[in-house]
Structure 1
Amino acid sequence: MMRRSAFVRWAVLVGIAATIAVGGAFGLRGLGAQGTGEKSTEAVAASVQTKTTEGQTRVLAPSSAQQAGGLETRVLVAASARQEIQALANVVALQPLIDQRRSIVMTTLDARRAALAAAAADLEARRLGSLNADGKLVSDKALEVARTTAATEAANVAAARSQVALATATLTSQFGPVIAGWLVHGAAPLDRLVSGRAVLLQISPVLSRALRTLPGNAELQLPDGSLLRATIVSAAAQVDPKFQTTSYYATAPANPTLVPGAAIAALLSNGEMAQGVAVPEEAVVRTDGRPYVYVAIAADQFARREIVTDTPIAEGWLVRSGLAPGTHVVVRGAQLLLSQEGKTASNPEAVGNK
């Protein structure tokens, strides 16, 4: 249940990240007013400064400002979690697949008819050959016509089989070998899709991070907050142009919300364990839609570090790079630091360079 709630939190955060970024500009006033009032807020803001060293901006907050602003830090600890990647699942329209199935069936039937006609023509040519050899019971001209007909039918077979091979290769290049096999040969999964008992999804990681192995399943976050498991079928044969990464085809039980064209938040899992540090949700601040934490690099100095929040866990987020166990991050008052850094960024004269 804890991991599920973290997943729900991610889905909500995607929609409100911009709002949080705008609201961050007012974090200083709200934080300072909790216990000290407006005048104290102004005093805290005045005591928090920034400096730039070798292109890196640091926020300077003396202990008095930290106490007044309620700033707290926490030590990050090592953590691990089953590798799950945020993804977007799009419900695939089935009509193009149905049309492709109909086309390949007709092409295959044409090849079979051609093979039957070729077999009959060859048999007739052999029969007439025997009669011609047996005292010229059939003329040489009739035998030549029969052999020409047999050769023509054999050529038709080769052409029809080439059409089947070309159609199969085209389907494989579009959908991969698994779904192409469904379309060429027919299969129970295709029957479930066509009958409306299941839906086909194309699931793409949203942060362009490909999994090293084929995931076994995915969890869909339905609009009502419930989760629905989808079974991964195969990797897509083509890169998703929106995310520039490998996507995956999956099937899921039919649901009223899973209509063609619908986009559903999802988590992909391949069973591997990811290693990193547990970053509390309260440590994360967002600006311009991107997540950051403030790292304590000294008792009164803090630096903003961008992180990747693609693995929700019960404690918040599993961050796999950029932060090490033992790092102190701000878990209360980070908005104060972000607000002050933003002010000095818009007013370069207020930034001290040392």
Structure 2
Amino acid sequence: MKRTLVILLVVSVLLAAGASWFIYQTLVASQPRPGALVQAAAQPSVQTVNGETVVVVAADVQRASHIEVTPLTAVAIQPENAAYATVVDLQPLFDLRNRLAAARADYKALRAQAGNSNAQYERSRVLFDDDRNISQKSLQDARVLMQADQAKLQSANAAQSGLDATMRQQFGEVLTVAAMAPASDLFQRLLAGRAVVLRVTLPATYSSTAPARITVDAPDGQPVAAQKLSASPQGDPAVQGNPYFYVTGRALPVGTHTAAHVPASNGSVSALVIPEAAVIWYGGQPWTYVRTAPDRFTRRYVPASSPGDQGFVVTSGFHAGDEVVMRGPQLLLSQELRPQGIATACKDPPECDD
């Protein structure tokens, strides 16, 4: 009898303990913890305001995420025109230079020879006139030799002039003078491969004179400074415009086609420069986040053709004083693109430990 009472007592205690645990789990453990409420409330949210997607981030979350902004200021910039540039093959210039040098040497030798034969003819004529001290045949031979040397001299002069004209027609005045100068630093650098010549075709609408200095894009994307030499007598048949020769100190492959950046002829204009650190790429296009309120950020398209030395130059879509996100734009993009309606607060401590 006593043993039955003991068993009933133990069963009653176990049932009471199980009921107490069930009540605790139902009424207490299932309620969200205060920390979880704060964590859920602190999560950024995404809204749509006037057709724009707005990421709402509280001030304390901005500080914790190290989100920093900087205001845009107006600056005076020199607009650029795009032009086409091609690295010129200078081997024809070197060949013409050698041929012209040989023609000039031949001309000097024939000029001396023609001078001697002319002097010989004059001496023979004087002797013949002086009581025929030489035969008429000797005088005629001297005249024929003089005339032959003069003909050779004229032919050498024509060859020299033709090569000179060909060189100027293909490579312009500056390169021709440099090629034939005894000690031309420009030609020595070209000959050694320490400089190259580019034919830059300026747009036909370019109203100003060709600028003395421009920049061109190297194959690795780096800008390369180039200095004007002269107008190019020959243009690029594939590009319409005004061709000019420029020289750059960086070795580039012959025949390379690249872009040239030419200062615009209408002077400087006021624009805004968005730092590169504030620009993120999404969908193959540049964007930046603008803080429109203390806790609100809007992503805007950056309408810039290409980044400049200081950043992305824009003339529309932004205003002076707009605060762009310098640090943390990728975090805002991740939050904007994150699927909405998914709870992130941790409800079960064991899961938070995973």
User: For the superposition of Structure 1 and Structure 2, which TM-score range results when normalised by the shorter chain?
Assistant: 0.5 to 0.7
Q: Secondary structure at 1:136's aligned position in 2?
A: coil
Other-structure match for 1:203:
200
Task: After TM superposition, list the pairs within 5 Å mapping 1:217-256 onto structure 2.
Answer: 217-255=213-251
Q: Secondary structure at 1:274's aligned position in 2?
A: coil
Q: Does 1:110 align with 2:106?
A: yes
Match of 1:274 among 267, 277, 301: 267
Which ranges in structure 1 are unaligned for 5 or more consecutive residues? 1-33, 41-65, 72-76, 282-306, 327-354
Identical-pair percentage: 24
Other-structure match for 1:132:
128
Contact 1:200 1:252 in 2 (8 A): yes
Q: Does 1:179 align with 2:175?
A: yes
Other-structure match for 1:67:
50
Which ranges in structure 2 are unaligned for 5 or more consecutive residues? 1-44, 55-72, 275-302, 320-354
Other-structure match for 2:256:
262
Q: Which structure has more RCO (C-alpha within 8 Å, separation ≥ 6)?
A: 1
For 1:275 and 1:254, the matched residues in 2 are separated by 28
Match of 2:165 among 166, 169, 181: 169
Contact 1:121 1:150 in 2 (8 A): yes
Distance change in 2, residues 1:218/1:136 (3 Å)? same
Match of 2:87 among 85, 88, 91: 91
Per the TM alignment, residue 242 of structure 1 is displaced from its structure 2 partner at its CA by: 2.1
Per the TM alignment, residue 263 of structure 1 is displaced from its structure 2 partner at its CA by: 2.8
Other-structure match for 1:122:
118
Distance change in 2, residues 1:310/1:155 (3 Å)? farther
Per the TM alignment, residue 125 of structure 1 is displaced from its structure 2 partner at its CA by: 0.5
TM-score (normalised: structure 1):
0.54
Other-structure match for 2:12:
none
CA RMSD for the aligned pairs? 3.7
Distance change in 2, residues 1:180/1:308 (3 Å)? farther
What number of residue pairs does the alignment pair up? 228
Distance change in 2, residues 1:311/1:152 (3 Å)? farther
Per the TM alignment, residue 313 of structure 1 is displaced from its structure 2 partner at its CA by: 8.8
For 1:120 and 1:177, the matched residues in 2 are separated by 35
For 2:314 and 2:83, the matched residues in 1 are separated by 16
For 2:314 and 2:239, the matched residues in 1 are separated by 22
For 2:79 and 2:53, the matched residues in 1 are separated by 35
Contact 1:78 1:275 in 2 (8 A): no
Match of 1:191 among 188, 208, 226: 188
